[in-house]
Amino acid sequence: MDFFHSKESLTALEWILRGIVSFLFLIVVSKLMGQRSISQLRFLDFIIALTLGNIIAHPLSDEKLGLKGSMITTIVLIVLYVIATWLGLKWPFFKRYLDPSPITLVKNGQIQFHHLSKARISIDYLFSELRKEKVEDIQKVSLALWEPGGTISVFMDTQYQPVTPADMKLETQPFTITRPIIIEGKIDMSLLQEMGKDPEWLTAKIAPTNANIRDVILATMTGNENVRVYVEPRKDIPRD
């Protein structure tokens, strides 16, 4: 474990081992931080991510720095992160400091210019974000909010919102989602169990294709138990 401590120099193998240990350690740390800190960086998430990156990066490039100190510091920061997140749930004023309320940028088609400076964004950036939402006329926007996560939520005026089947009182089929059940000959057993089916049922579904499960490149299944089998590129065989 000499690679774990500071040394005058490290061998190639010790550098590799140090990289592997740091990588696995960061995976564990990221898991402890939770999905939210990975999917979007808010104020507290940004601080912790920036700090952790610098702490771990230096021992990976300087053999005179050991991993022990970096790992201990990282663990302390993660504990503080979890405590701060917990306090944010318990103390509303602390939560408002970490995750402030959304800032109104557009209201009833009118830009709130005094809020743009508060959000520290320019008019050009606002219009750029509106274009991403397919908004060609700002007067059609009923409300646009600058979220704590750094995104803009846009709500169109009701007269410009798309017409839905519910508005026209049309009958619709229940919602269903298509999910892969077989990928390159391997069955997703967790999905199969979730649907209350077994491998024999799936085998019967793909039997008309005259292909074994291991020969199936992709098979998808919907919530109403429809299976579509892809045996080879550009050839798909639907089965109900």
At 37 the pLDDT is: 46
Name the residue among 144, 149, 160 with its Cα closest to residue 111: 144
Residue 108 structure tokens: 């009833």
Residue 179 structure tokens: 């999910």
Query: Which residues, 6 or more positions from 116, have their beta carbon under 8 angstroms from its beta carbon?
Result: 105, 122, 123, 126
Please identify every stretch of the chain with a pLDDT value under 50, giving residue numbers as ranges.
Answer: 35-39, 234-237
CB 52 within 8 A of CB 29: yes
| Collapsed DSSP state (helix, strand, coil) of residue 129 | helix
At 39 the pLDDT is: 45
Residue 133 structure tokens: 């939402």
CB 237 within 8 A of CB 209: yes
The alpha-carbon radius of gyration of the chain (Å, integer) is: 27
| Collapsed DSSP state (helix, strand, coil) of residue 157 | coil
CB 233 within 8 A of CB 217: yes
- Inter-axis angle of helices 12-33 and 43-61, nearest 10: 170
Q: Where are the beta strands (DSSP E) in the chain?
A: 103-107, 110-111, 141-146, 152-156, 179-183, 186-187, 218-221, 227-232, 235-239
- Inter-axis angle of helices 67-90 and 43-61, nearest 10: 170
Number of separate helices (H) and strands (E) present in the chain: 9, 9
Query: Which residues, 6 or more positions from 234, have their beta carbon under 8 angstroms from its beta carbon?
Result: none
Residue 97 structure tokens: 């400091």
- Region of 121 (left: φ > 0; alpha: ψ -120 to 50; beta: rest) is beta
Taking CA 111 as the corner, what is the angle to CA 110 and CA 116, rounded to the nearest 5 degrees? 160
Domains of the chain (ranges; CATH) run 2-95 (no CATH), 103-160 (3.30.240.20), 179-239 (3.30.240.20)
The rounded distance, in Å, linking the Cα atoms of 90 and 86 is 6
